[in-house]
Amino acid sequence: MTREAALNAALFVALIGTALVAQALGEGFIITLATKAAIFALAGVGLNLVLGYGGLVSFGHAAFFGLGGYATGILASHAMSGVPVATLPFTLNGSTEMLAIWPLAIAASGLAALAIGALSLRTSGVYFIMVTLAFAQMIYYLAISWPAYGGEDGLSFYVRNTFPGLNTFDPIQFFAICAGLLAAALGLVAVLTRSRFGLALRAARQNESRVVAVGIRPYSIRLLAFMLSGMIVGLAGSLYADLNRFVSPAMLSWHMSGEIMVFVILGGVGRLFGPVAGALAYIALEHLLGGVSDYWQALLGLLLLAIVIYAPGGLIGLIAGRRHV
Amino acid sequence: MMLLIEQALNGLQYGMMLFLMAAGLTLVFGVMGLINLAHGALYMVGAFACAAVAGATGSFWLGLAASLAAAAAAGAVVELLVIRRLYARDHLDQVLATFALILVFSEGTRWLFGSFPLYLTLPPLLSGAVTLPGGLQYPLFRLALIGLGAAIAFGLYLLITRTRLGTRIRAGEADREMVAALGVDIARLYTAVFALGAALAGLAGALVGTIQSVQVGMGEPVLILAFVVIVIGGIGSVKGALVGALLVGMTDTLGKAFLPGVLARLIDPSAANTIGSAIASVLIYVLMAGVLIVRPQGLYGERGMA
């Protein structure tokens, strides 16, 4: 077992362990924090697929996070009011079943990622950053100006959606769902990045013209990665909506995009467990620094600056050493 | 008709302010290859400096001078301490570091000035309205902003095409190693360009803060609009920034003013209002998408940049 693999295992054990110890001590708030960390880590795992492995700096992933959240909120609120979400071309009723909501949340964010990706991937470099940011901002303004689902005030749905066999209101059981999905996503990304598709994606980051020379179109590979990434982030958004039982345009805002990016970079770009380390550290910092000062984000900013300038490999890079790619 | 002219002037004024923001961003990208998210923070610094100095001395003009000086100084300090370590890094590091700078600037400003918005009063010289030919009453200050924006655009054009600094800036865009080899102090040139961009952003912040209000986070929506402007105009092109800014300013203002009314003639008025304002709020992004489809490198961008 390499040092990084050991560290990865320790990180996952730390996440699960925190929740279990908190459960034993009856600290419901800590379980909620661990749940939040698991959800943020899931979002980070999604972004890492394009950011780390694909080398595509998307600054617009809040769009998919928010769309996953809104899909969840809209379905749950329609289930409560009994009015179908849509009647054309087929009747789509609301739902409070997570197993019914997730596919729709994933589909909604995946479709948005396909459309945004198809346009944004025509550009590269700094254009790509600005264009993804701008498209996410477009969805943000749509959500604000569309009054049907709360507009600027957001949308509450009071009752957490259900999962067969589990009581989702019990914090530790909801945590188990989130941690399970995080593990599944980590497994998926591990398999993907080792597959032919993952190799092509990483190769396109390192040397685009060689990839073209062996007969692979980088555009298609990247678009597929962008869509998969959007779908994972959308699932995270759905869970986040369920955690808070509330969705608002803040989930779509560019600060959210920046935060998801921070989870990835704080932990270590292009490392499987980087987002897990980053999300855990972020939640811990928010909790600890938030107690020190109301202006904790300024401290966070200074810390991020230090990481970028002095430790470009992120936290995992600091501990496990530079990686040989 | 009157309304159309008034809204067109509003769009022009909005576009000019966007140009002040976008010009700095595009220069910094063109010369140093740096994407600077903290540009909006410098806009905020300018606005707060103007509000603080104008509040303390009672002179709007001193405030305006302070906004230029404070933003340029903040820009130079940030360039020396942080930004210059990022030129050789990839865009990801630049994005994260400048995002971190936003957090530091925003929270620092909140700590100094609190969360409540500040308001600036117009100087007597520029307050009130003027009657334009045709009988339209239009605020003098907004008219002055249009004039000032046009003057700065012309000044930047002269600076870049006619002065020594401008020659160096253009040379730096073309080939920075060669410029350094010819004996130009590249580090000082970079600090100067960054401070120039910062001063323009600070001025825009003070001017827009006078029309609206001065508060923490005011720079962020403008920053993203400035990105849209640059993507439309082409990164690195000051001319593109001007054309893009005016396009975005006009599209946004006219769309918000007239789209609901136009739609109301076609469909049910209450639905038209909802749909119209929703579409109007995303019109500039549709414009950007359109430009991307036809010219991914922007209107005045060079091929190969995109």
Tokens of A34: 């661990």
Smallest CA–CA separation between B258 and chain A, in Å? 16
Identify all chain B residues contacting A119, using CB atoms and an 8 Å cutoff: 289, 292-293
Smallest CA–CA separation between A147 and chain B, in Å? 8
C-beta atoms of B293 and A302 within 8 A: no
Q: In degrees, to the nearest 5, what angle opens at C-alpha B257 toward C-alphas B254 and B263?
A: 100
Per-residue pLDDT of chain B (306 residues; tens, 9 = 90+): 788 889 999 999 999 999 999 998 998 888 888 889 999 999 999 999 999 999 899 899 999 999 999 999 999 999 999 999 998 888 888 998 999 999 999 999 999 998 888 988 888 888 888 888 878 888 999 999 999 999 999 999 999 889 998 888 888 878 878 888 888 888 898 999 999 999 999 999 999 999 989 999 898 889 989 999 998 998 888 899 999 999 999 999 999 888 888 888 888 877 778 888 888 888 999 898 888 888 888 888 775 444
* Closest chain A residue to B289, measured at CA: A119
Per-residue burial over B276-306, b = 16 or more CB atoms within 10 Å of its CB, e = otherwise = bbbbbbbbbbebbbebbeeebbbbbbeeebb
Q: Which of A87-91, A128-132, A147-151 has the highest mean pLDDT?
A: A128-132
Identify all chain B residues contacting A135, using CB atoms and an 8 Å cutoff: 285, 289
Domain boundaries, chain A: 3-320
- Fold assignment, A3-320: ABC transporter involved in vitamin B12 uptake, BtuC (1.10.3470)
The amino acid at residue A166 is L
Report how far residue A316's alpha carbon sits from residue A311's, in angstroms, rounded to the nearest whole number: 10
The pLDDT tens digits of the residues spanning A225-264 come to 999 999 999 999 999 999 999 999 999 999 999 999 999 9
The amino acid at residue A138 is M
Checking ipTM against 0.90, whether it exceeds it is no
Tokens of A50: 């394009």
Q: Using the 8-state DSSP alphabet, how is residue A226 labeled?
A: H
Report how far residue B55's alpha carbon sits from residue B90's, in angstroms, rounded to the nearest whole number: 42
Instruction: Give residue B149's pLDDT.
Output: 93
The pLDDT tens digits of the residues spanning A281-321 come to 999 988 888 877 778 888 889 988 988 888 878 888 888 77
C-beta atoms of A142 and B277 within 8 A: no
Report how far residue A60's alpha carbon sits from residue A251's, in angstroms, rounded to the nearest whole number: 11
Identify all chain B residues contacting A120, using CB atoms and an 8 Å cutoff: 292
Distance in angstroms between the alpha carbons of the first and the last residue of chain B: 40
C-beta atoms of A297 and B107 within 8 A: yes
3-state secondary structure of B138: strand
Q: Please name the residue that has the structure tokens 């010289």.
A: B125
Report how far residue B9's alpha carbon sits from residue B250's, in angstroms, rounded to the nearest whole number: 9
Closest residue to B306, CB basis, from A57, A123, A137: A123
Closest CA to B123 of B149, B148, B144: B144
Instruction: Give residue B137's pLDDT.
Output: 87
Residue B252, judged by CB atoms within 10 A of its CB (0-12, 13-18, 19+), counts as: buried
The pLDDT tens digits of the residues spanning A32-90 come to 999 999 999 999 999 999 999 999 999 999 999 999 999 999 999 998 888 888 876 77
C-beta atoms of A129 and B277 within 8 A: no
Closest CA to B95 of A132, A46, A64: A132
| A116 has a pLDDT exceeding 70 | yes
Confidence of residue A324 (pLDDT cuts 50, 70, 90): very low
* β-strand pairing of B137-139 with A246-247: unpaired
Half-sphere exposure of residue A92, counting CA atoms within 13 Å on the CB side? 12
